[in-house]
Chains A and B, each alone.
Chain A
Amino acid sequence: MHKLAAASRHLVRFELNGKAVEGLAEPRTLLTDFIRHEIGATGTHVGCEHGVCGACTIQIDGVPARACLTLAVQVDGAKLRTVEGLAPEQGRLSIIQESFRKHHALQCGFCTAGILMSLDAFLKANPDADEEALRENLSGHICRCTGYAPIVAAALEAAEKLREIRNA
């Protein structure tokens, strides 16, 4: 049994977007607060802190999850991926990101990081997903600006492009 005492801060280490990072967290520190304010990766946003809105969705060991429903100390040793890790290089966008830009699938951009992290994992696991399956997967995200229609269009086009690349 490994005990981390309530009132102290403890070393937490994990891999973030392929790089080793570490910082100090109380047992109660939420992963959202930890990656944003301790690590400085502010691309992941906090929308509700009760797991409904999806804005804070990141990939933990390859699968999308709510960072706000996770304690920082729980991910010690894990591999995390956030929106900062999606673009292939500085100045370029991934296929999904490019498709979002083309279709105006974001306005304020606050919910976008979470949606991208879900979609990235979903299209990797389900390259042939149809619109219904896409909608169902992304229904774990609230967007207040776009009305979703442009996001659906962008996601469908990105899926098509990814299929083309895979088949080429």
Chain B
Amino acid sequence: MTCRKSRRVIREAAHLSEIPEDSKRWLGRSVARVEDAGLLTGQGRFLDDLGVRPGTLHAAILRSPHAHARITKIDTAAAKALPGVSAVITAEDVTKLSNSLVVGVKAPIMCWPIAVEKVRYVGEPVAVVVARDRYLAEDALDLIEVEYEPLPVNVDALAALSPESPVLHDGLKGNIASDRKFRYGDPERAFAEAAHKITVETNYPRNSCTPMETLGLVIEYNASEDAFDVLSNFQGPFSILAVIARALRVPGNRVRLRTPGDSGGSFGTKQAVFPYIVLMGIAARVAGKPVKWIEDRLEHLTASVSATNRSTTLSAAVDPDGRILGLAWDQVEDVGAHIRAPEPATLYRMHANLCGAYDIRNLAVRNRVVLTNKTPTGLNRGFGGPQVYYPLERLMQRIAVELKLDPVEVVRRNLIAADKFPYRTASGGLLDSGDYPAAVTMAVEEGGLAELRARQRAVREAGGLYGIGFAAVVEPSVSNMGYITTVLTPEERRKAGPKNGAQATATVAINPVGGVSVHVASVPQGQGHRTVLAQVVAEALSIEMSEVQVVTDLDTAKDAWSIASGNYASRFAAAVAGAANLAAANLKARLARSAAAQLNATIDDIEFAGGKVFSKRNPDNALAFSRLAATSHWSPGVVPDEAQAIRETVFWTPPQLTPPTEADEINSSLCYGFIFDYCGVEIDRETGAVRIDKYVTAHDCGRILHPGMVNGQITGGFAQAVGAALYEEYAYAPDGSFLAGTFADYLVPTMMEIPAPVILHMETPSPFTPLGTKGVGEGNCMSTPVCIGNAVADALGVETIDLPLTPAKLTALMQKPEPAPPTHAEAQTSAAPGQQKGRSLFGEGSAEIALPPQQVWEMLLDADVLASIIPGAHSVEKVGAHGFRADVSLGVGPVKGRYRANVELADLEPPSAVTLRGGASGALGFASGEGRIQLTATDSGTRLDYRYGAEIGGKVASIGGRLLDAAARVVIRQFFEALARRAGGPRSGNWFTRLFRRRP
């Protein structure tokens, strides 16, 4: 196929429907989606809309409040005894009835779908209750008692490199699960000879595309056949089914997966339902009933899956003109607490295109995979792209700044020239097609860069902060199933056998009374696959789209699929639609043969058009398509064998997707689109808020089948990327507490935050795909975060900047020295505000008590006194000489929880000082801390000074973090308030008076 370029400028999605339409063709038109009428009228068939078999039980999961702890006791008796509860499943059942999930690196570590002996991240499943309904199942969760012994925590990717970091998996010596070095060309020489070495260091944060529908499943175990029947909104890749079957200890054909007709978004994340398929499979087996589980939003945010966070040092050897002679990557990939399949794929998906859109022949790479006490990572839109392009395009900006060159010029000087395609990259990629310099020119001219620069000058002259950022990105699509094995050494790969390819499948069938059906294993989550497949097949057979019925719900027991099936790596338009085109073409060839026989014509004389099949020489010699199509059903005897046409299934895999070579070269994807973005941003000096003034995104994703949907992918990806750049972060405290557990803390942008980007297109068809198409769904998740990052760096003139670009962070970068606190404010010293670092609280205060120190001292050591002064204490008992155990209800306002607390007195210096050390845990979370109390005799009694440090974690840290610190301080103050009151009331005091006023 020749690479025909065409340009189409589409300014905004709003005008898509007005694109001139070629009425004879379906492809390339923004036809109405066949999915929409049902979805708009509430007739969708999402997982939770489908109903279940009578007797189906509902599951709820007890999850770890700790980031790292040993489980010393689980008591499920009370939960099991609750009427309506059928079973409570713990690690004991899971390890007895299943195998560990397969891990993708050669390391002696396990990966269970439930915490076994230890919990390793906040939200890790600890027990499962199955009960009559979900409400009841959650009631039972409250009755399970778990005791934990907290362990040191490790949440920082770079710290995890140290052999001293707390080890998560005992099979490993440290927390490095994989360490590979790669070398292509002669990078050492490039760096030795280059005029400049320019380096960036970046820390790409954790985030996720959080679909509106969460994960879910219904699973049934058939004991008589030892088989599992699963209904789930799983999204692929279907290689995961092999992992599930091995874990459940059944052959692959005894895990039957069905998917619902509709799925409410995924963006990769629904791949993460697979550990729950195993976990709930065990639950269904133990309970002897079908089990349904719908993940709730708190579970999703805390513990479903995340994109990886990655720390990168990237250096370029640069000549005086800004040309890059060599690149050196050092990537530290944080996959969280387990290496869950298909990780560490995020790290290797971009391996072929580590030099981006640039012609760079010398490349050094070091890739390390580390384990930390965070949620395990997995598929997420962009998968590896944002983590690679953030440092790469930050580096391009830094080269321009340091060499005082125009950033666009630096990009241009390094782009791969148009005549070099297909272009073999240093690390083995085969970039299929493109004209990158022309695309950049189109973007610059048609997107209005000159005007944007004029605007920047004007705003800056007026004293404003305005920056322009750029990003050039190669967007890979259709993954080579073998790229993940690049993490193995050539020797390990030789032992395991080669992995490669990307089998796509489609089935086209003809109905006996007219109409064509299409079945695929692409499990869409809103991408409009049914519409595009109807377009593709209607066009191939020259019939109306309405005559094509497309089915995308899948049954692995009956439908065609392979391990590469599923909806990921932007493979639909390039691979699946192509396979459908091939299946339709095969059927058409047979129909043509049949028509030739029936019309007494030769095959090359047969034409399909307008729902008819006829002889080109004599168009009146014709058959209705539906009549011809029915022949193989009704009169097979008149159809030659090679012309029988009822159902055609095609499997297609591209020959370009070969396994990694001995030299570690890998073509990790089949197609490579091109994106050039730029934007202008203005930063508010008062608030530090970033306003995107204009965003231009130019794409070459090969041939466009449906412009409306392509632009929908771009605007959708763009919005998620703006979220990643400015708002969203799966943030953790140093103690491993998860801080973004609700949609009030994980800030997904709304309509007020997302402007409409200017979208430009150029079409350079792929020579490697049946329809000339490439993927387009993930590109802006790769290009937009760094484009905005570059613009903000330009506006503020800073060198290092990491996402998300929060107003507080940018305000700090503006480096205005803060006006000093008032010197006369005594309040600051007598009751200093709690200062907080991460989840740790520090505070101090004092109180005057109308009793001498000795009496105060005795009170502190008396269990009965403590029972009366510990806020909300139901009972206090003395344990040992200086220990107490208490049962307390703590809370603020309506938020109340019951806790078990242990307090120990240490470093006793009677009657003047003592250290209180202890912890409390309950359904809402846990706290541990230490406080030093000092008693000083005064004229009127005793002055009590206290300082404390406390760590608070668990559920309440994830969902109420905004209020938590203040709440904790209230509780701590309440304790001393009560102490003072018990001793006869405070003599004076600032915050005391305030507190006492509360209850008149």
Contact = CB atoms under 8 A, between A and B. Distances in A.
A153 B46 contact: no
Nearest to B525: A108
A46 B42 CA distance: 13
B718 A147 contact: yes
Contacts of B391: none
Contact of A135 (B14, B39, B711, B751): B751
Interface in A61-92: 82-84, 86-87
Interface in B2-38: 12-14, 16-17, 30, 32-33, 35-37
Nearest to B213: A110
Contact of A153 (B14, B44, B297, B754): B14
B211 A42 contact: no
A149 B212 contact: no
A146 B712 contact: yes
Contact of B42 (A43, A50, A135, A142): A43
A38 B78 CA distance: 29
B715 interface: yes
Contacts of A101: 32-33, 36-37, 40
Contacts of A143: 212
Interface in A82-112: 82-84, 86-87, 93, 97, 100-104, 106-112
A93 B265 contact: no
Interface in A36-65: 36, 41-50, 52-53, 55
A107 B709 CA distance: 9
Q: Tell which of A44, A47, A53, A138 has the most Cβ of chain B within 10 Å.
A: A47
Interface string A122-158: 0000000000000110111111111111111100100
B305 to A, nearest CB: 15
Interface stretch (B179-187, B217-225, B742-750, B949-957): B742-750
Contacts of B135: 26, 28-29
A108 B212 CA distance: 9
Given A50-B744, A144-B720, A145-B526, A109 B752 contact: no
A113 interface: yes
A110 B41 contact: no
Contacts of B35: 109
B16 A112 contact: no
A148 B42 CA distance: 20
B719 interface: yes
Q: Tell which of B30, B35, B44, B262 has the most Cβ of chain A within 10 Å.
A: B44
A26 to B, nearest CB: 7
B716 A144 contact: yes
B439 to A, nearest CB: 21
Contacts of B708: 104
Given A42-B48, A104-B709, A144 B750 contact: no
Given A48-B743, A144-B211, A149-B754, A43 B748 contact: no
B491 interface: no
A116 interface: yes
A50 B263 contact: no
A129 B754 CA distance: 19
Nearest to B266: A108
Nearest to B15: A153
Contacts of A103: 13-14, 16-17
Contacts of B40: 83, 86-87, 93, 97, 100-101, 106, 109, 112, 116
A49 B297 contact: yes
B303 interface: no
B170 interface: no
Interface string B715-743: 11111100000000000000000000011
A27 to B, nearest CB: 11
Contacts of B931: none
B16 to A, nearest CB: 7
B265 A108 contact: yes
Contacts of B483: none
B751 to A, nearest CB: 5
B80 to A, nearest CB: 19
B30 A48 contact: no
A69 to B, nearest CB: 13
Given A48-B743, A101-B33, A104-B30, A149 B213 contact: no
Nearest to A86: B41
B264 interface: yes
Interface string B519-541: 00000011110000000000000
B712 A152 contact: no
Nearest to A140: B750
B264 A149 contact: no
B209 interface: yes
A92 B307 CA distance: 41
A43 B14 contact: no
Nearest to B44: A109
B267 interface: yes
A147 B262 contact: no
B751 A110 contact: no
Nearest to A91: B37
Contacts of A135: 751-752
Nearest to A156: B14
B47 to A, nearest CB: 11
A138 B525 contact: no
A49 B296 contact: yes
Contact of A144 (B12, B30, B265): B265
A43 B32 CA distance: 21
A47 B212 contact: yes
A55 to B, nearest CB: 6
B742 A50 contact: yes
B14 A53 contact: no
Q: Tell which of B32, B212, B709, B744 has the most Cβ of chain A within 10 Å.
A: B212
A157 B850 CA distance: 74
B751 A138 contact: yes
Contact of A149 (B13, B33, B44): B13
Contacts of A116: 40
B267 A144 contact: yes
25 contacts: A36-B48, A43-B41, A45-B212, A46-B48, A52-B744, A82-B42, A84-B41, A84-B42, A93-B40, A100-B36, A101-B36, A101-B37, A103-B13, A103-B14, A107-B716, A108-B526, A110-B46, A110-B213, A111-B264, A142-B750, A144-B212, A147-B754, A148-B756, A153-B12, A156-B14
Given A109-B264, A145-B265, 20 more contacts: A36-B48, A45-B213, A45-B264, A47-B213, A52-B743, A82-B42, A83-B40, A100-B36, A103-B14, A104-B30, A106-B40, A107-B265, A107-B528, A108-B525, A109-B262, A135-B752, A140-B750, A144-B210, A148-B750, A149-B754
Interface of A: 26, 28-29, 36, 41-50, 52-53, 55, 82-84, 86-87, 93, 97, 100-104, 106-113, 116, 135-136, 138-153, 156
